[in-house]
Amino acid sequence: MVLKKLIFFSICLMVLSVVFSAYAGNKRGATSISINGGYYSFEGNQDYKDNFAAGLRVGYNFTENWGTELFFNYVPSKYEPNNGDNNFYFAGIEGLYHFMPESRFVPFLALGIGATHYSSDDTYLVPSKFAIDYGAGFKYYLSDNIAFRADVRHVLPLGDSEKYGHNPDFVHNDLLATVGILFTAGGKEKVVDSDNDGVLDDVDECPNTPLGVAVDQDGCPLDSDKDGVFDYLDKCPDTPAGVAVDEDGCPLDSDKDGVPDYLDKCPDTPAGAKVDENGCPLDSDRDGVPDYLDKCPDSPAAVVVDKDGCP
């Protein structure tokens, strides 16, 4: 009857999950608490009756994959030879490894150590024993902070046995199967690198860098000449420091004479006028009148000329 109720309860929780649109998966840094119920089966030579189990788990996730849980389980059993009461307790700590931590369905493996305690008057068993356990389970997230979980463990209490001559190294083989509800708090979503530049999104100051572009420690494309234009867009990558540039990263050339402003000694040269390396209009006959104004471009040297460059 108890098992049927647990199965029915599990099915109801799975159906309810369709009304929740948000889910978080297994977050790093999250703490959790789980309330569990299920069934505990003792190995036959222990003379204890199998019964339902109630438990509590408190956990913490170091990463999305790795976590740990403290656990406690209680089983109100019977000691079969005299039908006496036996309150059985199993507590300890486990390490968990989660698969597919970002999905709604998160399976995991578990390995732990702990101790068991029997309250019966069975003189052939040590009342408290060291125990180890291992097993598996899954979490199914119904929302950001609530998940249905199911667990199964092979529990191995170490201790004396009537059938094995009080052997302290004898290992019992018990089985614990539970389902429950897990509540989480805190934690951080898995940090990704959306633009694949090697810098995670939570510290990336330029999150949309084109694929293959070299970036600095802040995730921004390199700007070797510090002119404000990233290298992958800069058509003039060696611009001197402090020089004003255009959108292509090239120094400004206000008069369009081919000599950038920071080198141009004649920054207002008329359009189309030929200039020298200093950006000044040519004066082929050295008469002081630039060629583009000189109506007598071949005046002899040292001849005095008028404003038109003529003798």
- Indicate whether 162 pLDDT > 70: no
pLDDT of res. 164:
46
Q: pLDDT of 273-298, one tens digit each?
A: 887 887 788 777 777 777 677 678 77
Q: pLDDT of 56-105, one tens digit each?
A: 999 999 999 999 999 999 999 888 777 778 899 999 999 999 999 989 99
- How far apart CA 225 and CA 260 sit, in angstroms, is 16
Q: pLDDT of 181-234, one tens digit each?
A: 999 998 877 678 888 888 888 888 888 889 888 899 888 888 888 888 898 888
pLDDT of res. 35:
98
